[in-house]
Structure 1
């Protein structure tokens, strides 16, 4: 084969080693990973499941990562996803806040929880210097029926 191109080891061949990286498979894998993370990110929100009451006048809260105190219908208190005793709550909240006692603390009270329990938790926090409290409600825009007269 006189006219055939020569390979580097002397054998005839038409293919040379490719020195470029094919980025198409890399982009495909990255897009699949992006979609997976976008789908699973909302599922990673941890905490205690509470059924929030609704409010028509609710406003969006500060976009910083909040300190969340949740009270379920049985009166159990959770700081984030961790169950805490009421006696330890103030110290644990202050530990999470550090020096920033002006940071907003979100109170998530189940709509079937005793109102007195929620107020008692808020009172404990306020009495100990944690005064920036926000009550979290469900943002659904369902009509709220007026109270009977």
Structure 2
């Protein structure tokens, strides 16, 4: 028995390379749009979106970092910029003084309202406009299956 990893067959390699190109290029395209429309990075936009959908638009920094796929250190730097810009506020957790919470401010909501229409148009143009509803569901199901294995 050999320890060498088996090569991907031609169909697997074609699929893999196409998937990698999407994973690498989509964030850059989205980043360019929010930078142009709102003057923030896509990571910063993601932080604001996650907070917008959180209960009371507030979340522990550690949970926010996980949901935004960033380290706590990276999020802390970004949160400082967002806080300096009046888009979020940070404060100690009242039930656990060791934790810091982040909350979306009115300024953050206003910026999201400014950036969201262009973001939605771009997501539709790049991802959904050329898919049928069945293909869209398949993409969602496949993405969830892959994500579950990554997070396992």
TM-score, length-scaled by structure 2: 0.27
Structure with the greater alpha carbon radius of gyration: 1
> Relative CO higher for 1 or 2, CA cutoff 8 Å, sep ≥ 6?
1
